[in-house]
Amino acid sequence: MSDRQILCVSNAYEQKYYLGEAYRGLPEAIQEELQILCVLFTEDVGGILTLEYEEDGSLYFHTTAEEGDLLYDEIGSVLKVKQIQRERQELLEALELYYQVFILGKSPQEVGMQG
C-alpha cells in the first residue's frame, strides 16, 4: 500500500473530506467534482472511500468500514464503485493522465496524448 499515492478520502464517520496536497493544482471544478462524488458515495453506502493511485498511475477505489458497522453496505459499495467507473469514466481517465504527466513527470507522448 505504500506504493500508492492518495488522491482523496471521504469519511462517513467523521463527515470529513481530504484532498491530497500534491493534487491541489487540479482545476477547482475538478476538485469540487471529486469532493461531491466522494461525499455522496460515503453518504450513500457509509464507511470510508479512498481514491489512490497505483504505482503505474491507474486510479484505485478502496472502501473500508469500521469493525462492527452494521450500517455499512459492502455490496452497495462495490456496485457504486462500478457505477462511478462507468458513468464517470472520462473524469477518471483525465485524473490518471494528470497523475502520469504532472506527478510522475511523463511526457504527454509517453501517455498517449495527442499533441
pLDDT 10s digits, 33-48: 999 999 999 999 999 9
Q: Quick check: 28 and 21 in contact, CB under 8 A?
A: no
Taking the CA atoms of the chain, what radius of gyration do you get in angstroms? 15
What are the phi and psi torsion angles at 107 (to 5°)? -75, 155
DSSP string, 59-113: EEEEEE--TT-TT--HHHHHHHHHHHHHHTHHHHHHHHHHIIIIIS---TTTTT-
Q: What is the pLDDT of residue 42?
A: 95
In the chain, % of residues over pLDDT 90:
83
**Mean pLDDT of all residues belonging to the chain:** 92
Dump pLDDT digits (tens) for 3-16: 679 999 999 999 99
Question: Which tens digits make up the pLDDT trace of 71-107?
Answer: 899 999 999 999 999 999 999 999 999 999 999 999 8
Beta carbons of 92 and 51 less than 8 angstroms apart: no
pLDDT for 46 equals: 94
